[in-house]
Amino acid sequence: MEAEAAKFIGAGLATLGMIGAGIGVGTIFGGFLQGATRNPSAAGGQFTNLILGAALTEALGILAFVLGLLILFAA
């Protein structure tokens, strides 16, 4: 296999890490909505925690994305 082709395949495989981040962020928002529909009065106070959890989870997906970019452009 050509090195160039392997690079593109590798970059594509690296971004698969974003699947996990997608599931994770979905779980967080799903959990928030479940809680929010049960007790809407407490929902507003948890907005910061919601965004914080989503951001921390998303960071791992972003790491995979940056890894893909590194394989494509830096190596």
Partner 1 sequence: MADPMHQFEVTKIVDLPDFSIPGLGTIDMAFTNSTLAMTLAAGLIVAFFAAVTARPTVVPGRLQMIGEGVFSYIDNLTESIIGHEGRRFFPYVFTIFLFILVMNLLGMFLVFTSTSQLAVTATLGIMTILLVLIVGFVRNGAAMYKLFVPAGVPWYMLILVTPIEFISFALRPVTLALRLFGNMLGGHVALKVFAGFVVSLGALAAGGGLGLLAIPAAGLSLAGVVALTALEFLVAFLQAFVFAVLTCVYLNDVVNLGHHH
Positions touching partner 1 (CB under 8 A) are 48, 51-52, 55-56, 58-59, 62-63, 65-66, 69, 73
Task: Give CA–CA dist 54/50, Å, rounded.
Answer: 6
**CA pair distance 71, 75, nearest whole angstrom:** 5
- Nearest approach in angstroms of CB 47 to partner 1 is 10
Q: How far is the CB of 71 from partner 1 (least distance, A)?
A: 14
Q: How is residue 72 written in tokens?
A: 């494509």
Give CA–CA dist 17/71, Å, rounded.
Answer: 14
- CB closer to partner 1, 6 vs 59: 59
User: Shortest approach of partner 1 to residue 21 CB, angstroms?
Assistant: 11
